[in-house]
Amino acid sequence: MPSKQKPMRYGHTEGHTDVCFDDTGSCIVTCGSDGDVRIWENLDDDDPKSINVGEKAYSCALKNGRLITAVSNNTVQIHTFPEGAPDGILTRFTMPANHVTFSPDGTKVAAGSSDFMIKVVEVTDSSKQKTFRGHDAPVLSLSFDPKNVYLASASCDGSVRVWSIADQTCTTSWLLLQKCNDVINAKSICRLAWQPGTGKLLAVPVDKVVELFRRETWDSQFDLSDASITQPLNVVVWSPCGQFLAAGSVDGNLVVWNVETQQCIERMKHEKKYSICGLAWHPKYKQIAYTDKEGNLGLLENIGDVEKPNDKVASAVAKDYNDLFDGDDDDYLNGDVIEPPSSPKTGDHEDDADDLMQPPGHVRRAVIDDDDDNSLDIGLIKASSSLLEKEDDGDDQPGGFSALPPSSAQQPFYDGPMPTPRQKPFQSGSTPVHLMHRFMVWNSVGIIRCYNDEQDNAIDIEFHDASVHHATHLPNSLGHTMADLSTEAILLACESTEELASKLHCIHFGSWDANKEWTVDMPKDEEIEAICLGQGWAACATSALLVRVFTVGGVQKEIFTLPGPVVSMAGHGEQLMLVYHRGTGFDGDQCLGVQLMELGMKKRQILHGDPLSLTRKSYLVWVGFSAEGTPCYVDSEGIVRMLNRGLGNTWVPVCNTREHCKGKYDHYWVVGIHENPQQLRCIPCKGARFPPTLPRPAVAILPFKLPYCQVETEKGQMEEQYWRSVLFHGYMDYLSKNGYEFDENAKNQAVKEQQELLMKLFALSCKLERESRCVELAGLMTHGVLSLAIKYASRSRRLNLAQLLSEVAVEKASELAAAQQEEEEEEEEEDFRKRSSAGSSSSATKWGQLPGRNVQQDQEVEDEEETDACEEAEETPEVHKEKEPNGFSKGVTSAEVNTPKPALVASSSRGRVNPFKVSSSKKEAVVPSGNVLDNMTKYSKKTSSSGSRAADKQNPPVIKPLTPKPKTKQASAASFFQPRTPATNPGEKTVEEREEKAGNESQEAKVTAQENTENRRPRTGFQMWLEENRANILTDNPDLNEAEVIKEGMSRFRMLTSEERMVWTEKARGGRVNDSAEDKKRKRPPAEEDEVKKSQEQKSEDTNVSKRSKPLDPSTNNRLSAFAFKQS
């Protein structure tokens, strides 16, 4: 039957290794040149127990709870098993021992050394030793006779000797091997072996064959060989039943023979053809563990054979079929392994196998083997019985099996998907609890280590930033097993005992009072399974499916139920993420759900128990938040996923750590994730899933990479970079939406980077003549970059594409304007609802506090009609403020977009300032442009607004988003309450008069602008159109007020064709530049220095005029103020 070779895994450092099983076969024990003995529960054990026995370990043997090792310090040591506690030195040599082995009864140990000596020592009394001398070179290997009569040895002197243990004499000797002077120069280590049970045969690997010598006569019985063996054999080992013999060669071949038939039944080749130096046969099952000289460990399973049973065993089979076979043996007789293709690997979950899964270590087939002496031979006996040999004779085979009782022959067998054992709760950034020295948590704040050995049981806390808090050493008298760490507190939890309840212990080192610690006991029979810390709060999940929330000071807050057993939890700021079991997974998959909540002032749930996607047959190993607050998690296959808030809270894979691992069993242990800069911080672990505490592990930084297709091409690479930039800067939108501060410059830089990538993709698509793709890319561009794309298309003589892009630009502009208008109306309605209950007194107070208004309490109270007019005059700047940043508005130029807005923002944010003063940078912005495409703003509305403010304020380091919005809301909301308040500005009357004289407003505004030379604001094409068509609008709609007239005018102006709007725009330009027609036609003046000088001279002149025009009468000031707000 076909065997199954499991992939090898890293076990020790490069060098000689040895392997053996314990008495029951429940674990594999290996030793290597790193001086460690490792105890593996199975080949997939990612956390083997490690015992350091010396600098190098050459050989190991295990029996009766005692572990014997040959160490490089010339000693043979004893350790208890499985504890690994040192139990003394068994014997010493003058050179290192090369091989140690137990006698069959476990009372004696034989050791052969490089000083040519062999010693047989009593395990219980090391003073009882026997020394065997006679070899003339280092001893290579030893083997005890199963009857404790003889001891066989092989040496570098080329001889194989058989010694009589009783009288310490050499019984016989063969010169079989090639001579050499040391073990490292030997072509083969010649690990010989006696046949178990009777000791009838002695197997010796000689070059490419195995020679078998008969006991007592010491004659060579026969040789075992195979065509696949092309290099010398290194080691041989018998099966416990004595019927099979396995041999490993120096080039990685492993062969198994049936000794009685002398037939080769199994052949296996090493993955990398490394020399096999260790072999061990499982004491119960048909498995062989093997190691190579590179420190790797492998396992060969399901080793089958065809053999005739002896009469005794055959009669036992015929006597009682019920005890030996089950109902599916007919399939096994035909060589079929009854194994559901969808069933999970037994070895992956041996610790947690439930009732539907097969017992750990059993070969995966439906045969139920008992642990008696014949258990290993059941399938072999049946497969080779005379019933099968006489297949043509219908009297034997059919009759033999049809006579089986139905109860045993028809046992039901479940052939569907197998349930997956549930993953146990864990703390992110922690190593397994059973370790004596372990990490309780490693995160972006610091490290918590736990030491639990004979000397100390304590907890060490270390902060990455010592300014947060100094390092701390705590006693661990309660046996805390869970921990979390933040910048304000340390949270610990312990399991319950017979006397004590499960406890949650918090050290609030950020507290300002003296009492910084508090402890809470859980109710009876309720265990804490996971804990986490946030900003100002702590939480724990318990075995009662409860989540308990506390303040960091110890006040109990909310409590709620989880839908399933918790797996892990994490906190960051106001966010709490919980991962739990939604149900039972199948075929090795976990069935997990995730909840994401915000515990701030507005408590809400973001993710409502959505399924948590994991790689097939993997489990969760880390869950947490990035440093910027984005939820992330990592599965056992090394896939890092991040929440994409911009795509409906979906999970995006951002990195595969397995791509950076050199070995199959290497892993990266994640400790932190950063979005800006993009860094995945983790610790490389060679041959393990987590690092040791000492020496202190070094943190590596891995890059992020989204799994896009064809990333080796230029197009795929740029697409991956663009969407990765969009994803990793999405946290800024989240911070802005929730009112947090963030670096505006970083966002601008990210937008610039994204637009550059889009432009490169656009150029690449143009070269490939993919014009349809170019239009699709244009939909992702900002106004400024879209204008560049239009220019690029024009210069590339793709006029059709340029025309399509222009239509896209206009369409995007109109959509943006409509969206902004809807947003503004919604904000006004919401603000009105919020403030409608405040009353006239509160509204008057807020109205009086509006910046930029000259509040004069001694002015006479205007009537209600005049007050309404003032409201609309105040609302007018808001309309323009929202509309004008749109670079594609009809006839609006870049100067019109950029100039009024900073003045309004500056005046509103600094209280009583001159709203008409124009800085030199603003004057430069007034320079006209001849092409409407040149006037497109480079960024979106919010970005350009913040950029203008940054220019005024010399780039403030951090800008709080949404700062202007409350003021806009305040002004608009106050307008609803204006009739209830006294008029505070005499200019309101002037505004009312100007509303009544709509036909004369244009001329009056021009005169007013000429009087105050500081206010040189450009006029737009829309304003000129509105002046000429205001009368028509009022004729059609006589009931409209000023703001409604402007809105109606804007809607009518949009109805004009692009050519008509361009005419009005040109008219507006003609009125605000030099009289020279040549300057009007130029996009940019040829001599910019002259223009700068002119602007500087004009500025100084304006300043002088400003000083002279200070004592203007109040009515003039009021008219100027109303006009300025109207134009802005």
pLDDT in tens, 115-167: 999 999 999 888 889 999 999 999 999 999 999 999 999 999 999 999 999 99
In the chain, pLDDT over 90 holds for what percent of residues? Answer: 46
Contacts of 335 (CB under 8 A, 6+ apart): 1, 304, 383
Beta strands in 53-94 (DSSP E): 57-63, 66-71, 75-80, 86-92
532 and 441 in contact (C-beta within 8 Å)?
no
**CA distances, 1104 to each of 1014, 1099, 1107, 1109, 1112 (Å):** 10, 9, 5, 9, 15
pLDDT per residue over 180-197, tens digit each?
A: 988 888 989 999 999 998
CA distance 535 to 1017: 49
Mean pLDDT of 276-282: 93
DSSP reduced 3-state for 277: strand
DSSP-derived 3-state class of residue 800: helix
User: What are the DSSP calls for 845-896, one per residue?
Assistant: HHHHT-TT----TTSPPPPHHHHHHHHHHHHHHHHHHHHTT-TTSTT--HHH
Three-state DSSP class for residue 495: coil
| Average of per-residue pLDDT across 445-455 | 89
- Report how far residue 937's alpha carbon sits from residue 787's, in angstroms, rounded to the nearest whole number: 9
CA distances from 1122 to 169, 499, 715, 1004, 1116 (A): 122, 80, 54, 12, 10
Start-to-end C-alpha separation, the chain: 88
Q: Is 359 left (phi over 0), alpha (psi -120 to 50) or beta?
A: beta
Contact of 49 with 27, CB cutoff 8 Å: no
**Structure-token pair, residue 640:** 């890092």
567 vs 915 pLDDT, higher one: 567
Contact 267, 303 (CB under 8 A): no
pLDDT at 1079 over 70: no
More confident residue, 929 or 518: 518
Provide mean pLDDT across the span 377-402.
Answer: 42
Q: What is the pLDDT of residue 2?
A: 65
- In the structure, what pLDDT confidence band is assigned to residue 1073 with cuts at 50, 70 and 90? very low
Q: Which residue has the higher pLDDT, 607 or 865?
A: 607
Q: Which of 4, 51, 7 is nearest to 27 (CA)?
A: 51
Amino acid 984: pLDDT: 41
Q: Is 687 left (phi over 0), alpha (psi -120 to 50) or beta?
A: left
**Res 933 pLDDT > 80:** no
Q: Are 822 and 830 in contact (CB under 8 A)?
A: no
Chain-centroid distance, C-alpha 379: 47
pLDDT over threshold 50, residue 929: no
**1016: pLDDT confidence band, cut at 50, 70 and 90?**
low
pLDDT at 621: 96
Question: What's the pTM?
Answer: 0.50
What is d(CA 663, CA 150) in angstroms, rounded to the nearest whole number?
Answer: 44
pLDDT greater than 60 at residue 907: no
The structure tokens listed for 528 are: 């804490």
Could you give the CA distance from residue 315 to residue 320 in angstroms, rounded to a whole number?
9
Give the up-direction half-sphere exposure of residue 259: CA atoms within 13 A in the CB hemisphere. Answer: 24
pLDDT bracket for residue 570 (50, 70, 90): very high
Binning pLDDT at 50, 70 and 90, where does residue 888 land? very low
- Mean per-residue pLDDT of the chain: 76
Average pLDDT, integer, range 657-662: 93
pLDDT at residue 1067, as a whole number:
82
Q: What pLDDT score does 198 carry?
A: 87
CA 1028 to chain centre: 63
Contacts with 481 (C-beta within 8 Å, 6 or more apart), sequence order: 433, 440, 450, 493, 494, 495
Q: How confident is the model at residue 411 (pLDDT cuts 50, 70, 90)?
A: low
The pLDDT of 306-331, averaged and rounded, is 41
pLDDT on residue 665? 85
**Which CA distances in Å does 202 have to 225, 242, 283, 797?**
16, 11, 19, 89
Asked whether 926 and 1094 are in contact (CB, 8 A), the reply is no
Q: What SS3 string covers 1006-1049? A: HHHHHHCCCCCCCCCHHHHHHHHHHHHHHHHCCCCCHHHHHHHH
- pLDDT, position 602: 84
Beta carbons of 903 and 915 less than 8 angstroms apart:
yes
Residue 43, H or E segment:
none
425-442 tens-digit pLDDT? 999 999 999 888 999 999
Summarize pLDDT for 1081-1094 with one digit per residue, the tens. 444 444 444 554 45
Contact in structure between 17 and 279 (CB atoms under 8 Å): no
Q: Which pLDDT score is estimated for 1113? A: 53
What is the identity of the amino acid at 949? R
Burial of 178 from C-beta contacts in 10 A (0-12 / 13-18 / 19+): middle
Show Cβ contacts of residue 350 under 8 Å, excluding neighbours closer than 6 positions. 41, 42, 44, 360, 361
For position 345, what pLDDT does the model report? Answer: 41
Burial 150-160 (b: 16+ CB within 10 A, else e): bbbbbbbbbbb
User: CB within 8 A of 899, min separation 6: which ones?
Assistant: 918, 922, 925, 926, 1017, 1018
Q: CB–CB of 992/873 below 8 Å?
A: no
Among residues 718, 648, 723, 709, which one has the least CA distance to residue 678?
Answer: 723
Q: What is the pLDDT of residue 952?
A: 43
Asked, as a colleague might, if the bond just before 982 is cis with ω within 30 of 0, I would say no
Q: Mean pLDDT across the stretch 840-869?
A: 41
d(CA 968, CA 395): 100
Angle between helices 900-909 and 864-883 (to 10 degrees): 120
**Strands 201-206 and 193-194: what pairing?**
antiparallel
The two three-digit tokens of residue 1124, written as one number = 């300025």
- Higher-confidence residue of 1089 and 825: namely 825
1115 compared with 580, residue with greater pLDDT: 580
Please give the Cα distance from 647 to 241 (Å, whole number): 63
For the cut 80, the answer to whether the pLDDT of residue 707 exceeds it is yes
**Cα 251 from chain centre:** 40
Cis peptide, bond prior to residue 695, ω within 30 of zero: yes
pLDDT band for 1071, please (50, 70, 90 cuts).
low
- What does the pLDDT read at residue 272? 85
Rounded distance between C-alpha atoms, residue 471 and residue 463, angstroms: 6
Over its C-alpha atoms, the chain yields an Rg (Å, rounded) of 43
Lowest mean pLDDT of 641-655, 775-789, 1025-1039, name the range. 1025-1039
**How does DSSP assign 600-662, residue by residue?**
SSS-EEEEEEEE----TT--EEEEEE-TTS-EEEEETT-EEEEEEGGGTSEEEEEEEGGGG-S
